[in-house]
Every structure is written in C-alpha cells, then in structure tokens.
C-alpha cells in the first residue's frame, strides 16, 4: 500500500483582538450616557483567589453606592450610581483593571443583561395628595378648603394618569402576547 505524501495546506488564523494596539488608558472616550447599563463597571484581571471582601476593600471609598456581582473567577460586575461609576473608572488599581460595561466582552454584557436586578430602577410615578387629603378630611370630619375647580383639576389629573398607566400596560401586554 503506497502512501501519498503531499504538502499540507498551512492555515493561519487571524487573532480576534489586536492586543498590541489596544489603548487601555484611553479615558476620554468613556461614554456612560449611551449604554443602558451605565451604572455597571466590569472589574477584571484580578487574582483568582480574590473574594468579595477583597474587592469591597478596594472600593471602600464607594461603599455607599457600590455592590459586586460575580461573572467568573477573574471577572466581576461593580454596580454603582452613574456619577460614581465615572469616578471609579478614572481611578487606577495595581491589582485589577476597570472598564465600562459598554467596552466589556460580549459574554460579560450578556451576563449583565441576564440579571434583571442589575437594571437601573424605574422612575417613581408622579404622586398626588388628593387621596390623602380626602381621607384625612373624612376622618377628621372637617370641610375641605379646596375650590370646586381645584378638585376638578385634581380629578382630571388622576384620571389622565390612570389612562396613561392603562395604555402603557396594554402596550406591554401586546408585546408580551397577553
């Protein structure tokens, strides 16, 4: 049986990332306003034996508005409020590196989006004192000092808010298929 000897075709695989031309100290183009998760910072390249307490010690000056969620042994997500996140990104740590979530790896971004509790809090709806006033006046048995026009304006405002809330719920339910 004769074995044919031929030349194997050499395959050269192009690198995914150009580490030689990567600029890690580029602080000017950190744009937190565009990203939906701008209050989250990726913490990476720290020793694998680091624990949550170790990372918290490194960020002790941001303790009030700071929390950590782990991605893997050498990656974690730092949850800040947006202004504090910008300050943290400008600081340098010899034991780890920081970058905004918008510049992190796709795996880290996917992990961050998979946690619903990482999303920023929704805005609190506008409130009205009409119901509280009505309850207090009813409990005390006193007459209201509001004019009829003021009561009607409050009633219209509450009705509009109720309609907006219902429209938003219906729109959300339509997308959800309910």
pLDDT digits (tens, 9 = 90+) for 76-129: 888 876 566 777 788 788 888 888 888 887 778 777 777 656 655 455 667 778
Q: Are 100 and 33 in contact (CB under 8 A)?
A: no
Give the helix/strand (H/E) hosting 17: none
What is the C-alpha separation between 69 and 43, in angstroms, rounded? 10
Q: Among 46, 37, 62, which residue's Cα sits nearest to residue 112?
A: 37
How sure is the predictor about 64, in pLDDT bands with cuts at 50, 70 and 90? low
The predicted pLDDT at position 156 comes to 92
Task: Tell whether the model's pLDDT for residue 149 goes beyond 90.
Answer: yes
pLDDT tens readout for residues 129-146: 888 888 898 899 988 888
Tokens 């007459």 locate to 143
- Return the CATH class of domain 40-114: alpha beta
Query: What average pLDDT does the structure give for the chain?
Result: 76
Name the band, by pLDDT with cuts 50, 70 and 90, for residue 25: very low
Q: Which two tokens stand for residue 110?
A: 């996917």
Q: If pLDDT is split at 50, 70 and 90, which confidence band does 57 have?
A: confident
pLDDT of 174 over the 70 cut: yes
pTM above 0.85, yes or no: no
Domain ranges of the chain: 40-114, 129-176
């Amino acid at each position: 049986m004769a074995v044919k000897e031929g030349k194997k075709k050499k395959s050269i695989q192009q690198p995914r990332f150009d580490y030689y031309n990567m600029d890690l100290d580029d602080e000017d183009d950190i744009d937190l306003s565009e990203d939906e998760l701008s209050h989250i910072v990726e913490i990476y390249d720290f020793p694998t034996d680091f624990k949550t307490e170790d990372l918290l010690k490194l960020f002790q000056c941001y303790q009030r508005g700071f929390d950590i969620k782990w991605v893997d042994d050498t990656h974690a997500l730092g949850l800040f409020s947006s202004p504090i996140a910008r300050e943290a990104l400008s600081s340098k740590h010899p034991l780890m590196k920081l970058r905004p979530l918008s510049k992190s790896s796709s795996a880290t971004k996917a992990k961050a989006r998979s946690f619903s509790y990482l999303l920023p809090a929704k805005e609190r709806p506008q409130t009205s004192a009409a119901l509280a006033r009505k309850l207090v006046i009813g409990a005390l048995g006193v007459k209201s000092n509001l004019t009829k026009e003021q009561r009607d304006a409050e009633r219209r405002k509450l009705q509009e808010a109720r309609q907006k809330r219902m429209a938003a719920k219906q729109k959300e339910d339509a997308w959800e298929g309910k």
